[in-house]
Structure 1
Amino acid sequence: MSVDSAAGSAQRAVRRLITYLLLFALVVIAAVGLSGLLERLLESGTELATADVAGLARSLAFALVGGPLAALLWWVVWRRLGDETERASVGWGLYVTAAYVLSLILALSNLLSTLATLIGGQSLQWRSSLATGLVWAAVWVWHRWMWRHPRKRPLDLAEAPTVLGSYIGLVIGVSGAITALSLLLDVAIRGALTTGTLGKPWWISALQSLVWAAGGGLVWWWHWKHDGGRMLRGGLASVGLIAVGVLGAGVLTLGGAGVTVFVLLRLAFDRTEPMDRLLEPLAAAVAAAAIGSLVWVYHRGLARESSEAIRQGSRLVTSGVALVAAASGIGVIVNAALALAVTPFVGTGPRTLLLGGISSLLVGGPVWWLTWKPLDRTSAVTAGPGVSGTWQGARRVYLIVVFGLSAVVAVVTLLVIGFRIFEFFLADVSGGSLVESIRAPLGLLVATGLVAGYHFAVWRRERAVPAAEAPARKRTIGHVVLVTGTDPAPLHRVIEEATGAGVTVWRRADGGAGPAADAGRLARELEGVVAARVLVTVGPDGRIDVIPLLG
């Protein structure tokens, strides 16, 4: 590429960035202005003028100045989108995604807030939320039309609105469902008299929460089923599946289960508070564990049906969440044990703390054991090329991350303990106990030390196994030339793990950028190939050709 063409490409990229940022800002300004004007119409009928002259002037300026400017700039942008290079630009995809997501969140939250406010009654706040919701709903419909346009829709980040819309609806729906279920369970556990909020009957709050659950569920279904979000894999879809469906739901489930076990343990061994106060967190915890487990099981099922990378990523994330819960429980148990040791009489504080640690360990420990399978060493180091090698690499990265984070926490905790020790001996203070001052960081140090030591030992053991087995592998390929237009790093690793041969990467002159090639398929294609040199080509459609060469 010449200097002039490179400079021209950079100028076009900067021009697109500025154009789409300006268009996004103008659309937001116009929507805010129209929302303010519509709110005043709903509140005062046909009269816009009120005592708030400054607010009215701001709304008029935003709507009557920002609106036409946004329309003019959009018209200029829309005309240029006949060129495929414009539609394929990252700026156009980012703009549509950002405007789509923002308008969806604001429209959904305000319209659902309007319905919830109307159910509660005795409030005029619904007019403001209705005005904002209607305007942003119109913006959402407009950008959805552009996103689905057959000739001018974005080519880059084309699946992002579907993925993000699905998980936005899921989060809102799950939050509403948990709140509604917790209110119902609270009535069943503690009675209706304890669940009224500021004189409002409990069933009104439950009905308002059901509105949020139904609205979020509808948005989730629309993007997940109607728009095909369930069928998307790779890239942002995989990240959302792991981050929201597995990690988020796992934290919600284990957190709710831990609090539930804690309340039950307190009912059995620590009834030092009134029964109503002991039972207060139980309903919300059970609701979180129940709803979270449904979401968790569903998305882990989807992960098991996906590629090996997603499957093992789901497993590692689940193991990490459970490990945090179990390690936290160990640290709290050590803390409570030290408190009981230095206290002449068993107090309610250390006992409650001890039960909290036990509940966290009882919830996180079994899940970590079943997911990580520490006694099953065959799953840790699986012989064979391709996918198993990728899994081993991901597992080792996980081990290094856990060990590194634990080591950092341990160092910080050691500093805190040292500070407390020096402060105790240097300060001229009568009374108190050294153990009492360091028991909390000492418990954390013990937990992180155990975690760091175990994962470092596992990493050392698994790292030594392939090194010991490497000489026994028969090398059948001398050198591989990889020709691809996509990122060559994943295929490069697979070739080295499967054959042990050196790899030379050639980039396609025609670009050839398309869907990423299946690394597992490449490993299978290389099995049984015997040649001094092998040519591996990856086509624009992801097709892989393995060609043995003579000489």
Structure 2
Amino acid sequence: MSAVQAPVAPAPRSAQGTVRRLIVYSILFVLVVIAATGISGLIGRLLETRPQFAEGAGGLALSLAFSLIAGPLAVVLWWFLWRRLDGPDRSSVAWGLYLSAIAVVSLVTFTTALLGTAADLVRGTWSPEALATGISWLVVWVLHRMMWGNDRKGPLRLTAVPLVLGAAYGLVVAVTGAVRTLEPVFGEALLPADAQIGSRWWSSALQALVWAVGGAAIWWWHWVRERARMLRDGFAAVVLVIVGVLGAAAVTLGGLGASLFVALRAAFDRSDPWPVLLDPLPLAVAAASVGGIVWLYHGRIAQQRSDAVRSAARLVEAGIGLIAAASGIGVVVNALLASLTAPLAGDDARTLLLGGIAAIVVGAPIWWVAWQPLRVAADAGTTGRRVYLVAVFGVSAVVAIVALLVVGYRIFEFVLDGGGGGLIERIRAPFGLLLATALVAAYHFAIWRRDRGTAPPSARARMIDRVILVSAGEAGALAEAIESATGASVTRWTRAGDEAAAAAAPATVVEALAGVTGRRVLVVAGPGDRVEVIPLAE
């Protein structure tokens, strides 16, 4: 009996190893951050040329403590861990998570500091603390980038995270900087003389240009130089859809909606003076221009990806258009109810009405083109579409319930109190929101029920819930084939030492899965066309 019970021992050792790695890498992360902070403080004192800003002995003591205590401890701990990266530690999640976290933190810190220093120089001010912070964290980023790219000790897990997040961060900085660069330029060109920002509009434009160029350089380094654009599945696809498509679409529609609102007010509502009325226009035009370019580029990239990515991009476009159109409907109802109240609310009602019309005009066409309500959906029953329908229905139903409660509260308050405004004035805002969200919830619930009836059998009843795929090489096409054939979620593992090998044929694997049932199924594909399917116990 003792011989049978002996093999149970490795489980605690494995758990202890995982906890050990998480703890030591967390300690290393904290030590590196403290050491970099201390070194940046020392460098800042060396670069400081303004005696009135010099820190006292307390600041120097803190920087010395951080540098001379945390720095050596970080080096010793790193040396201890670096020697062990020939075995299981290299393939652990903790090693990849540590490098990803420190790479992203150091990238954001040093780029923010250096770009801020450059922008301050354009303005004519000197920021030695920011420059020191940028230098110290740049060294941290370079050192960890070298570790990440090491052929023998680089991480085997989460290798794409720094590239994807770096590209996304650079894109956000570049878009923000470009919008802020174009805002004063458009303001100088579009606004009348009495509404322009002043003679030094070019100074703010140059400062923002520094951030735009810096962000574009960060994005290019990760997207093109480090080949993040070649990553097609998993985390990279999620970030592409959320940042590149959804984020850019939101910026574009926001800019278009604000521009149209200003145009409608200029034509039908001149209750405010021209400087006040036209003030949002430069920022809106800049946001629409930059966001539209980014949206178009990433939309084309998404169309070159898998069916799941294309469907997700289309759904988020439909979602952002739906939000804009539904918000516009709620605002229009609010404005129509406001027009029934006292005449003093006439100008406010007109402004609200024009804002709602602008939101509908901008959002409804985007939703119509992306959703195509008159056509039978080719992706009916797919996971992405089901998640979208349930999410939209759930969120809109919750908002409608909250709005209904507010309407009820206002009605009871009016009945019990009776003073301070009419009933319509009290309920018009939540009632408009209630009507819009109720319509959205009812429509998407009906679409969800229709999809359940028209979805193919494989989409309605899955025989397999989850597939764990172990294969050689890039198995993106293989995972897509399994998900399309079974409807199951696929988790991919790559054989050690076979990263460059060719994956098994998708048709062979799908054929091997025919008739297999189970909550979890292990699929071992390769070497060659050899496929082994193993249903796992609960």
Q: 1:490 to 1:174 in 2, by over 3 A?
A: closer
Instruction: Describe the superposition over 1:110-154 as per-residue Cα deviations: whole angstroms up to 9, x where unpaired.
Output: 111111111111x23x21111111111111111111111111111
- Aligned-residue Cα RMSD (Å) equals 3.6
Displacement of 1:491 in angstroms is 7.6
Q: 1:82 aligns with which of 86, 101, 114?
A: 86
Q: Are the aligned partners of 1:246 and 1:318 in contact in 2 as well (CA < 8 Å)?
A: yes
Who is 2:310 aligned against?
Answer: 311
Matched residues in 1 for 2:395 and 2:504: separation? Answer: 30
Tell me, yes or no, if structure 1 residue 377 matches structure 2 residue 363: no
Letter of the 1:285 partner, please give it.
A
Matched residues in 1 for 2:275 and 2:353: separation? Answer: 21
Displacement of 1:437 in angstroms is 0.2
Who is 2:448 aligned against?
Answer: 459
Displacement of 1:344 in angstroms is 3.5
- Residues 128-143 of structure 1: matches in 2 within 5 Å? 128-143=129-144
Query: TM-score, structure 2 length as denominator?
Result: 0.87
Matched residues in 1 for 2:332 and 2:209: separation? Answer: 39
Q: Are the aligned partners of 2:525 and 2:532 in contact in 1 as well (CA < 8 Å)?
A: no
Matched residues in 2 for 1:404 and 1:362: separation? Answer: 25
Letter of the 1:243 partner, please give it.
I
SS at structure 1 position matched to 2:9: helix
Tell me, yes or no, if structure 1 residue 9 matches structure 2 residue 14: yes
Letter of the 2:105 partner, please give it.
L
Q: Are the aligned partners of 1:484 and 1:512 in contact in 2 as well (CA < 8 Å)?
A: no
Q: Are the aligned partners of 2:192 and 2:275 in contact in 1 as well (CA < 8 Å)?
A: no
- Residues 419-430 of structure 1: matches in 2 within 5 Å? 419-429=409-419
Who is 2:425 aligned against?
Answer: 436
Displacement of 1:159 in angstroms is 1.1
Who is 2:219 aligned against?
Answer: 220
Matched residues in 2 for 1:331 and 1:319: separation? Answer: 18
Who is 1:177 aligned against?
Answer: 178
Q: 1:398 to 1:519 in 2, by over 3 A?
A: farther
Displacement of 1:537 in angstroms is 5.1
- Residues 505-520 of structure 1: matches in 2 within 5 Å? none
Displacement of 1:220 in angstroms is 0.5
Displacement of 1:239 in angstroms is 1.1
Matched residues in 2 for 1:350 and 1:519: separation? Answer: 64
Matched residues in 2 for 1:22 and 1:174: separation? Answer: 35
Q: Structure 2: 5+ residue runs without aligned partners?
A: 1-5, 534-538
Q: Are the aligned partners of 1:169 and 1:219 in contact in 2 as well (CA < 8 Å)?
A: yes
Q: 1:135 to 1:483 in 2, by over 3 A?
A: closer
Letter of the 1:107 partner, please give it.
F
SS at structure 1 position matched to 2:305: coil
Q: 1:133 to 1:365 in 2, by over 3 A?
A: same
> Identity rate of aligned residues, in percent?
49
Who is 2:36 aligned against?
Answer: 31
Q: Are the aligned partners of 1:380 and 1:462 in contact in 2 as well (CA < 8 Å)?
A: no
Instruction: Describe the superposition over 1:474-525 as per-residue Cα deviations: whole angstroms up to 9, x where unpaired.
Output: xxxx99x989548999887655579xxxxxx9x99x999989x999945995
SS at structure 2 position matched to 1:37: helix
Displacement of 1:465 in angstroms is 2.2
Q: Structure 1: 5+ residue runs without aligned partners?
A: 382-388, 499-504
Q: 2:119 aligns with which of 113, 116, 119?
A: 116
Matched residues in 1 for 2:349 and 2:467: separation? Answer: 63
Matched residues in 1 for 2:152 and 2:479: separation? Answer: 34
Who is 1:104 aligned against?
Answer: 107
Letter of the 1:151 partner, please give it.
R
Q: 1:58 to 1:492 in 2, by over 3 A?
A: same
Q: 1:236 to 1:403 in 2, by over 3 A?
A: same
Q: 2:407 aligns with which of 389, 414, 417?
A: 417
Matched residues in 1 for 2:447 and 2:277: separation? Answer: 41
Q: Are the aligned partners of 2:524 and 2:532 in contact in 1 as well (CA < 8 Å)?
A: no
- Residues 191-210 of structure 1: matches in 2 within 5 Å? 194-196=195-197, 201-210=200-209
Who is 1:243 aligned against?
Answer: 242
Q: Are the aligned partners of 2:248 and 2:294 in contact in 1 as well (CA < 8 Å)?
A: yes
Letter of the 2:29 partner, please give it.
F
Displacement of 1:470 in angstroms is 5.6
Q: Are the aligned partners of 1:192 and 1:202 in contact in 2 as well (CA < 8 Å)?
A: no
Matched residues in 2 for 1:305 and 1:484: separation? Answer: 24
Matched residues in 1 for 2:33 and 2:316: separation? Answer: 37
Displacement of 1:294 in angstroms is 0.7
Letter of the 2:27 partner, please give it.
L
Matched residues in 2 for 1:378 and 1:69: separation? Answer: 59
Q: Are the aligned partners of 1:246 and 1:300 in contact in 2 as well (CA < 8 Å)?
A: yes
SS at structure 1 position matched to 2:89: helix
Q: Are the aligned partners of 1:325 and 1:360 in contact in 2 as well (CA < 8 Å)?
A: yes
Q: 1:425 to 1:396 in 2, by over 3 A?
A: same
Who is 1:502 aligned against?
Answer: none
Who is 2:161 aligned against?
Answer: 160
Q: Are the aligned partners of 1:166 and 1:223 in contact in 2 as well (CA < 8 Å)?
A: yes
Query: TM-score, structure 1 length as denominator?
Result: 0.85
Q: Are the aligned partners of 1:526 and 1:546 in contact in 2 as well (CA < 8 Å)?
A: no
Q: Are the aligned partners of 1:490 and 1:519 in contact in 2 as well (CA < 8 Å)?
A: no
Letter of the 2:104 partner, please give it.
V
Who is 1:71 aligned against?
Answer: 75
Displacement of 1:432 in angstroms is 1.7
Letter of the 2:408 partner, please give it.
G
Matched residues in 2 for 1:238 and 1:494: separation? Answer: 17
Instruction: Describe the superposition over 1:228-282 as per-residue Cα deviations: whole angstroms up to 9, x where unpaired.
Output: 0111111111111011001111111111111011000000100111111111100
Letter of the 1:109 partner, please give it.
T
Matched residues in 2 for 1:405 and 1:259: separation? Answer: 25
Matched residues in 2 for 1:201 and 1:337: separation? Answer: 43
Q: 1:485 to 1:173 in 2, by over 3 A?
A: same
Matched residues in 1 for 2:324 and 2:338: separation? Answer: 21
SS at structure 1 position matched to 2:339: helix
Who is 1:448 aligned against?
Answer: 437
Q: 1:424 to 1:49 in 2, by over 3 A?
A: closer
Tell me, yes or no, if structure 1 residue 43 matches structure 2 residue 48: yes
